Amino acid sequence: MWMAKGDAPGGSFTAVSAGRGHSCGLRSDATVACWGDNGRAERDVPAGEFVAISTGAEESCGLRGDATVSCWGEPHHGRIFGGSVPPSDSYVAISARRYRCGLRSDATAVCSGFTLPGRTPASAGTFLAVSAGGEHACGLRSDATIACWGANDRQFLDERFQIDAPRGTFVAVASGWSHSCGLRGDATVACWDEDGPTDAPDGAFTSIAAGWSHSCGLRGDATVACWDEDGPTDAPGGAFTAISAGKDYTCGLRGDATVTCWNEYDHWNEYDQADAPGGTFTAISAGEAHWCGLRSDATVSCSGWNEYGQADAPGGTFVAVAAGSTASIALRSNGTYTSWGRSAFDLQGGSNH
C-alpha cells in the first residue's frame, strides 16, 4: 500500500519501523503498509504475510513466517535480495566491516562488498576462520597459513589496504580497515599494512582485534594492550574475555559479561559508540561507528551511529553478530543469517558500504 508523504494509513498495527525518509508498519493481518517519500521503498511492497519488518535508507525488508526474507526499494549500493539463503549455504561464522564475509559449513569462504578494480572474491580452499576489513579480507587456512584478498595499497585511489600476509603459521587473524594482524602459535602478534610489518608489543597474547588504524590484543593475564603506528595507546585496566576494535574505539567483554568501550582518541565519540549499554553479553562486535552485542538471552542489541538503520537490531535469537560500516549481520542457529542497515545484503552478491 502506497501512501503520500507523512500520511500514515489507518487501521491496526503490531509493529512499525522508521527509515530515513519513509516508514513501514506490520498490520494485524500480517501484511505490510509503507508511507513516506513516495519512492520504491514505499511503492513496491510485496504481497503476502510477514512476521517482522525493518526499514533502512531507501529500502525495507520483511521477515516471513517461513524464515525467508523479502526486500524492496532502491538498491543504490548493491543488489537487494529476496528469498532465503540456499540450503547449501549454511554458515558457521560471519565477519563485517565495509567488506563482509561468511564462513560456510563446508569451510569455504564467501565475501561481498565493493566490486571495483582491486576487489576480488574470496580465495579458494578451506578456512578455519575469516575476517573482513575495510576493502579486503583475510582468512586462516586449514593449514594455519593466512591468505588475504581484496584491495591493496596501489590498486584503487592509493587506498592503504594490505593483503600481503607474512609467511608462517598462525592461530588467528584480524583484518582492520587499513591493516591486518595475525596471532602466531607462539602467542606473538605480527601486523602489516601498506609499508610492510608494523610493530606490535612484545609479550604473549591470546586474541587480537584490528580497528581503523589501531590494534588491540588480549594478553594471557586477561589484560588489554592497544597500539597504533606511533606506539602504545591507552586501554582500561582490569580483566577481559574478548575484545573488538572499531574505527577509533574498542569494546571489551569483561568476566562478569558486561561491556566496556573506550576511545582511542579522546575527541572522537560523535555517535556515542563508546558508551556501552547495560546488561550482560556473550559476544561483541565493534563496527565503524556503531557496535552490536549478543546478549545473554541470545538477542542482539546495537548502539551508536544509526543513520541507515545499522543499529536497529531485529528481534529473535542469534548465535553470532557482526557490525560493519552502515550495515550489520547476525547468524541464526540454523546457519542462516539476517542483515539490516543500508541495503540489506546477500553474502554472495549484495553490496553496500
117: left (phi over 0), alpha (psi -120 to 50) or beta: beta
pLDDT value at position 74? 55
Pick the closest to residue 34 from 16, 20, 52, 11 (CA basis): 16
Round to whole Å and give the CA distance between 324 and 201: 27
pLDDT higher than 50, residue 323: yes
Round to whole Å and give the CA distance between 111 and 298: 25
Each domain of the chain, given as residue ranges in start order, spans 2-82, 85-341
> Which amino acid, 332?
R
pLDDT value at position 270? 76
Average pLDDT over residues 25-36: 87
Residue 347 DSSP class: T
pLDDT value at position 275? 81
* Residue 128 or 121, more confident: 128
- Render pLDDT for 130-167 as a digit per residue (tens, 0 to 9): 998 887 889 999 999 999 988 765 444 444 446 788 89
pLDDT value at position 153? 57
Residue 167 DSSP class: S
Pick the closest to residue 111 from 324, 294, 268, 317 (CA basis): 324
pLDDT higher than 50, residue 79: no
| Kind of pairing between the strands at 32-36 and 2-3 | parallel
pLDDT value at position 159? 45
pLDDT value at position 113? 66
Torsion of CA 331, 333, 335, 337, to 10 degrees: -30
CATH class of the region 85-341? mainly beta
Round to whole Å and give the CA distance between 119 and 137: 10
End-to-end CA distance of the chain: 29
In degrees and rounded to multiples of 5, residue 40 shows phi and psi of -65, -25
| Kind of pairing between the strands at 22-27 and 32-36 | antiparallel
DSSP run (H or E) holding 43? helix 40-43
Pick the closest to residue 103 from 126, 133, 119, 136 (CA basis): 126
Reported pTM: 0.70
Lowest mean pLDDT among 13-17, 178-182, 334-338: 13-17
pLDDT higher than 80, residue 176: yes
Average pLDDT over residues 212-217: 90
Q: Which residues, including other chains, have CB under 8 Å from residue 47's CB and lie 6 or more apart?
A: 31
Please tell me which of 2-11, 60-69, 228-237 the model is most confident about, judged by mean pLDDT. Answer: 228-237
All 3 cell numbers of residue 256?
562478569
pLDDT value at position 1? 42
DSSP run (H or E) holding 131? strand 127-132
- Render pLDDT for 92-116 as a digit per residue (tens, 0 to 9): 898 988 878 889 889 999 887 654 4
Would you mind telling me the total number of residues written for the chain in this entry? 353
- Render pLDDT for 257-278 as a digit per residue (tens, 0 to 9): 999 999 876 656 777 777 887 8
Q: Degrees (nearest 5) of the Cα angle 294, 97, 67?
A: 50
Torsion of CA 79, 84, 88, 89, to 10 degrees: 50
> Which amino acid, 178?
S
In degrees and rounded to multiples of 5, residue 239 shows phi and psi of -100, 145
- Render pLDDT for 216-258 as a digit per residue (tens, 0 to 9): 999 999 999 999 887 778 899 999 999 999 988 999 999 999 9
pLDDT value at position 115? 45
- SS3 percent helix, strand, coil of the chain, rounded to 5, is 0, 45, 55
Query: What percent of the chain is predicted at pLDDT more than 70?
Result: 76
Q: Tell me the three state secondary structure of residue 79.
A: coil
pLDDT higher than 70, residue 58: no
pLDDT value at position 78? 32
pLDDT value at position 234? 85
